[in-house]
Protein backbone atom coordinates (compact mmCIF):
# COMPACT_ATOMS: atom_id res chain seq x y z
CA UNK A 1 0.00 0.00 0.00
CA UNK A 2 1.50 3.44 -1.01
CA UNK A 3 2.65 5.68 1.83
CA UNK A 4 1.20 9.19 2.06
CA UNK A 5 3.84 11.34 3.66
CA UNK A 6 2.68 14.04 6.08
CA UNK A 7 2.71 17.55 4.61
CA UNK A 8 2.32 16.44 1.00
CA UNK A 9 -0.68 16.42 -1.33
CA UNK A 10 -1.46 13.55 -3.61
CA UNK A 11 -1.28 14.66 -7.28
CA UNK A 12 -4.71 14.61 -8.91
CA UNK A 13 -5.08 12.95 -12.28
CA UNK A 14 -4.77 15.47 -15.17
CA UNK A 15 -8.15 14.51 -16.60
CA UNK A 16 -9.88 15.41 -13.33
CA UNK A 17 -8.19 18.83 -13.22
CA UNK A 18 -9.12 19.62 -16.85
CA UNK A 19 -12.73 18.59 -16.29
CA UNK A 20 -13.01 20.81 -13.22
CA UNK A 21 -11.50 23.77 -15.09
CA UNK A 22 -13.87 23.41 -18.03
CA UNK A 23 -16.85 23.18 -15.70
CA UNK A 24 -15.84 26.40 -13.99
CA UNK A 25 -15.46 28.17 -17.33
CA UNK A 26 -18.83 26.91 -18.47
CA UNK A 27 -20.47 28.68 -15.56
CA UNK A 28 -18.96 32.08 -16.38
CA UNK A 29 -18.22 32.30 -20.10
CA UNK A 30 -21.74 32.52 -21.56
CA UNK A 31 -22.72 35.45 -19.36
CA UNK A 32 -19.54 37.51 -19.62
CA UNK A 33 -18.87 36.93 -23.31
CA UNK A 34 -22.48 37.63 -24.27
CA UNK A 35 -22.48 40.81 -22.22
CA UNK A 36 -19.21 42.01 -23.77
CA UNK A 37 -20.45 41.24 -27.26
CA UNK A 38 -23.73 43.16 -26.95
CA UNK A 39 -23.05 46.08 -24.62
CA UNK A 40 -20.47 48.69 -25.68
CA UNK A 41 -18.49 50.77 -23.22
CA UNK A 42 -20.18 53.91 -21.91
CA UNK A 43 -19.13 56.92 -23.95
CA UNK A 44 -18.58 54.99 -27.17
CA UNK A 45 -21.96 55.80 -28.74
CA UNK A 46 -22.11 57.88 -31.90
CA UNK A 47 -24.67 59.31 -34.27
CA UNK A 48 -26.46 56.57 -36.19
CA UNK A 49 -25.06 53.75 -34.08
CA UNK A 50 -28.44 52.02 -33.95
CA UNK A 51 -29.61 52.79 -37.49
CA UNK A 52 -27.91 49.83 -39.17
CA UNK A 53 -29.15 47.40 -36.54
CA UNK A 54 -32.75 48.64 -36.52
CA UNK A 55 -33.39 50.25 -39.92
CA UNK A 56 -30.89 48.45 -42.17
CA UNK A 57 -29.06 49.87 -45.16
CA UNK A 58 -29.86 49.70 -48.85
CA UNK A 59 -29.66 51.74 -52.02
CA UNK A 60 -27.91 54.86 -53.23
CA UNK A 61 -29.52 58.19 -52.26
CA UNK A 62 -31.40 60.07 -54.94
CA UNK A 63 -32.35 63.71 -54.48
CA UNK A 64 -33.80 64.50 -57.92
CA UNK A 65 -33.38 68.12 -58.96
CA UNK A 66 -33.20 69.41 -55.39
CA UNK A 67 -29.91 71.11 -54.51
CA UNK A 68 -28.19 69.42 -51.59
CA UNK A 69 -24.98 70.28 -49.74
CA UNK A 70 -22.70 67.46 -48.60
CA UNK A 71 -21.76 67.13 -44.94
CA UNK A 72 -20.27 64.65 -42.47
CA UNK A 73 -20.62 63.79 -38.80
CA UNK A 74 -17.73 62.46 -36.74
CA UNK A 75 -17.03 61.14 -33.23
CA UNK A 76 -14.06 60.23 -31.07
CA UNK A 77 -13.64 56.71 -32.45
CA UNK A 78 -12.58 58.20 -35.80
CA UNK A 79 -9.58 59.95 -34.26
CA UNK A 80 -7.86 62.72 -36.20
CA UNK A 81 -9.91 63.45 -39.30
CA UNK A 82 -8.44 64.30 -42.73
CA UNK A 83 -10.41 67.53 -43.16
CA UNK A 84 -8.55 68.71 -46.25
CA UNK A 85 -9.43 65.45 -48.00
CA UNK A 86 -13.09 65.89 -47.12
CA UNK A 87 -13.08 69.54 -48.23
CA UNK A 88 -11.51 68.62 -51.57
CA UNK A 89 -14.21 65.96 -52.05
CA UNK A 90 -16.95 68.58 -51.75
CA UNK A 91 -17.92 68.38 -48.06
CA UNK A 92 -18.90 71.83 -46.79
CA UNK A 93 -20.32 71.27 -43.29
CA UNK A 94 -19.65 68.97 -40.35
CA UNK A 95 -20.91 68.02 -36.91
CA UNK A 96 -18.62 66.65 -34.20
CA UNK A 97 -19.69 64.69 -31.14
CA UNK A 98 -18.89 66.80 -28.10
CA UNK A 99 -20.51 64.96 -25.21
CA UNK A 100 -22.55 62.00 -24.02
CA UNK A 101 -24.67 62.00 -20.88
CA UNK A 102 -22.73 63.92 -18.24
CA UNK A 103 -19.82 61.48 -18.10
CA UNK A 104 -18.06 61.75 -21.46
CA UNK A 105 -16.31 64.36 -23.59
CA UNK A 106 -14.75 63.54 -26.96
CA UNK A 107 -10.93 63.47 -26.62
CA UNK A 108 -10.59 64.39 -30.31
CA UNK A 109 -13.10 67.23 -30.15
CA UNK A 110 -10.59 70.05 -30.70
CA UNK A 111 -9.02 68.45 -33.78
CA UNK A 112 -12.39 67.58 -35.27
CA UNK A 113 -14.37 70.71 -34.39
CA UNK A 114 -11.63 73.25 -35.07
CA UNK A 115 -10.13 71.28 -37.96
CA UNK A 116 -13.34 71.42 -39.97
CA UNK A 117 -13.63 75.16 -39.30
CA UNK A 118 -10.02 75.79 -40.29
CA UNK A 119 -10.44 74.29 -43.77
CA UNK A 120 -13.50 76.45 -44.39
CA UNK A 121 -16.42 74.28 -43.34
CA UNK A 122 -19.45 75.40 -41.36
CA UNK A 123 -19.38 73.27 -38.22
CA UNK A 124 -21.49 72.30 -35.24
CA UNK A 125 -21.40 70.02 -32.20
CA UNK A 126 -23.77 67.26 -31.11
CA UNK A 127 -24.71 65.57 -27.85
CA UNK A 128 -25.53 61.86 -27.56
CA UNK A 129 -28.49 61.75 -25.19
CA UNK A 130 -28.80 59.18 -22.40
CA UNK A 131 -32.20 59.97 -20.85
CA UNK A 132 -31.80 57.20 -18.28
CA UNK A 133 -28.79 58.78 -16.54
CA UNK A 134 -29.63 62.44 -15.80
CA UNK A 135 -32.27 65.05 -16.69
CA UNK A 136 -32.51 66.83 -20.02
CA UNK A 137 -31.61 70.16 -18.41
CA UNK A 138 -28.54 68.68 -16.73
CA UNK A 139 -27.29 67.22 -20.00
CA UNK A 140 -27.97 70.45 -21.94
CA UNK A 141 -25.87 72.36 -19.41
CA UNK A 142 -23.09 69.79 -19.69
CA UNK A 143 -23.19 69.96 -23.49
CA UNK A 144 -22.97 73.76 -23.62
CA UNK A 145 -20.14 73.73 -21.07
CA UNK A 146 -18.11 71.25 -23.13
CA UNK A 147 -18.17 72.53 -26.69
CA UNK A 148 -21.87 72.60 -27.54
CA UNK A 149 -22.38 76.36 -27.45
CA UNK A 150 -23.13 78.66 -30.36
CA UNK A 151 -21.68 81.90 -31.71
CA UNK A 152 -23.01 84.24 -34.38
CA UNK A 153 -19.88 84.03 -36.55
CA UNK A 154 -21.67 82.59 -39.57
CA UNK A 155 -19.58 79.42 -39.35
CA UNK A 156 -21.15 77.73 -36.30
CA UNK A 157 -24.34 75.67 -36.51
CA UNK A 158 -26.70 75.26 -33.54
CA UNK A 159 -26.06 72.25 -31.34
CA UNK A 160 -27.73 68.96 -32.23
CA UNK A 161 -29.46 66.51 -29.89
CA UNK A 162 -28.75 62.93 -30.99
CA UNK A 163 -31.74 61.01 -29.64
CA UNK A 164 -31.95 57.40 -30.87
CA UNK A 165 -31.72 53.77 -29.79
CA UNK A 166 -30.04 53.13 -26.47
CA UNK A 167 -26.85 51.16 -27.16
CA UNK A 168 -26.52 50.24 -23.47
CA UNK A 169 -29.98 48.88 -22.70
CA UNK A 170 -33.67 49.13 -23.60
CA UNK A 171 -34.38 51.13 -26.77
CA UNK A 172 -36.35 53.89 -25.04
CA UNK A 173 -34.07 54.19 -21.99
CA UNK A 174 -36.82 52.87 -19.72
CA UNK A 175 -39.04 55.89 -20.34
CA UNK A 176 -42.69 56.06 -21.29
CA UNK A 177 -43.54 57.95 -24.46
CA UNK A 178 -44.74 60.98 -22.50
CA UNK A 179 -41.68 60.74 -20.25
CA UNK A 180 -39.40 60.81 -23.29
CA UNK A 181 -41.18 63.84 -24.74
CA UNK A 182 -40.75 65.63 -21.40
CA UNK A 183 -37.04 64.75 -21.28
CA UNK A 184 -36.45 66.08 -24.80
CA UNK A 185 -38.39 69.27 -24.02
CA UNK A 186 -36.27 69.75 -20.90
CA UNK A 187 -33.10 69.50 -22.98
CA UNK A 188 -34.10 71.75 -25.88
CA UNK A 189 -35.69 74.44 -23.68
CA UNK A 190 -32.57 74.58 -21.52
CA UNK A 191 -30.34 74.70 -24.60
CA UNK A 192 -32.41 77.56 -25.97
CA UNK A 193 -32.22 79.50 -22.72
CA UNK A 194 -28.42 79.10 -22.65
CA UNK A 195 -27.65 79.87 -26.31
CA UNK A 196 -30.63 81.64 -27.81
CA UNK A 197 -30.87 78.89 -30.45
CA UNK A 198 -33.18 75.91 -30.86
CA UNK A 199 -31.25 72.66 -31.08
CA UNK A 200 -31.37 70.46 -34.15
CA UNK A 201 -33.04 67.11 -33.40
CA UNK A 202 -31.36 64.06 -34.93
CA UNK A 203 -33.46 60.89 -34.91
CA UNK A 204 -34.92 58.04 -36.96
CA UNK A 205 -38.64 57.86 -37.68
CA UNK A 206 -39.01 54.30 -36.37
CA UNK A 207 -37.33 55.15 -33.05
CA UNK A 208 -39.28 58.41 -32.74
CA UNK A 209 -42.55 56.59 -33.31
CA UNK A 210 -41.75 53.86 -30.80
CA UNK A 211 -40.32 56.05 -28.04
CA UNK A 212 -42.24 59.36 -28.29
CA UNK A 213 -45.50 58.06 -29.76
CA UNK A 214 -44.64 60.05 -32.92
CA UNK A 215 -44.96 63.37 -31.09
CA UNK A 216 -45.15 66.34 -33.46
CA UNK A 217 -44.75 69.32 -31.14
CA UNK A 218 -41.05 70.01 -31.68
CA UNK A 219 -41.36 70.66 -35.40
CA UNK A 220 -42.32 74.31 -34.88
CA UNK A 221 -38.88 75.32 -33.60
CA UNK A 222 -36.40 72.48 -33.99
CA UNK A 223 -34.81 71.61 -37.36
CA UNK A 224 -35.01 67.90 -38.20
CA UNK A 225 -31.95 65.78 -38.98
CA UNK A 226 -33.36 62.50 -40.19
CA UNK A 227 -31.40 59.23 -40.18
CA UNK A 228 -32.17 56.70 -42.90
CA UNK A 229 -29.66 54.73 -44.97
CA UNK A 230 -31.64 54.27 -48.15
CA UNK A 231 -32.46 55.84 -51.50
CA UNK A 232 -34.59 58.51 -49.80
CA UNK A 233 -35.28 59.77 -46.27
CA UNK A 234 -38.67 58.03 -46.19
CA UNK A 235 -41.59 59.07 -44.01
CA UNK A 236 -40.64 61.84 -41.59
CA UNK A 237 -41.69 62.01 -37.94
CA UNK A 238 -44.98 63.78 -37.18
CA UNK A 239 -45.00 67.56 -37.47
CA UNK A 240 -42.07 67.95 -39.85
CA UNK A 241 -43.07 68.45 -43.49
CA UNK A 242 -39.44 68.53 -44.63
CA UNK A 243 -36.01 67.61 -43.28
CA UNK A 244 -33.14 70.06 -42.83
CA UNK A 245 -30.45 67.38 -42.85
CA UNK A 246 -30.39 63.71 -43.80
CA UNK A 247 -27.79 61.18 -42.68
CA UNK A 248 -27.92 58.86 -45.65
CA UNK A 249 -25.00 56.47 -45.15
CA UNK A 250 -22.50 55.08 -42.66
CA UNK A 251 -20.10 53.93 -45.38
CA UNK A 252 -19.20 57.10 -47.27
CA UNK A 253 -15.64 58.13 -48.21
CA UNK A 254 -13.01 59.12 -45.60
CA UNK A 255 -15.14 59.07 -42.42
CA UNK A 256 -18.15 56.88 -43.19
CA UNK A 257 -21.07 58.97 -41.90
CA UNK A 258 -22.21 61.33 -44.67
CA UNK A 259 -25.16 63.69 -44.80
CA UNK A 260 -27.14 65.91 -47.15
CA UNK A 261 -28.25 69.41 -46.22
CA UNK A 262 -31.61 70.15 -47.81
CA UNK A 263 -30.53 73.21 -49.78
CA UNK A 264 -27.56 75.03 -51.24
CA UNK A 265 -24.63 76.34 -49.19
CA UNK A 266 -26.38 79.65 -48.55
CA UNK A 267 -29.08 77.73 -46.63
CA UNK A 268 -26.41 76.12 -44.42
CA UNK A 269 -25.07 79.62 -43.76
CA UNK A 270 -28.60 80.83 -42.96
CA UNK A 271 -29.01 78.14 -40.30
CA UNK A 272 -25.63 79.08 -38.83
CA UNK A 273 -26.69 82.71 -38.57
CA UNK A 274 -30.10 81.84 -37.16
Residues with a catalytic annotation lie at 73, 162, 164
DSSP string, 65-133: T---EEEEEE-GGG-S--HHHHHHTT--EEEEEEEETTTEE-TTHHHHHHHHHHTT-EEEEEEE--TTT
Give Cα separations from 215 to 180, 206, 237, 269 (angstroms): 10, 12, 8, 29
Among 264, 212, 221, CA closest to 240: 221
DSSP state of 42: T
Query: In angstroms, rounded to a whole number, what is the distance separating the alpha carbons of residues 128 and 44?
Result: 10
C-beta separation of 61 from 232 below 8 A: yes
Amino acid sequence: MPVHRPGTIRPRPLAVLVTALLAALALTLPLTSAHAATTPARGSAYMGMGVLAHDGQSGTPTTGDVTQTEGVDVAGYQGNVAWSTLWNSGVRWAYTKATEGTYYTNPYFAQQYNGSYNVGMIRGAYHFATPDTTSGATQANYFVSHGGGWSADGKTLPGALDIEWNPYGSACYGKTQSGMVSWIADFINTYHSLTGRWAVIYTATSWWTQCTGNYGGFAVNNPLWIARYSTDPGTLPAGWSYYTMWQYTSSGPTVGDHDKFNGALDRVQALALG
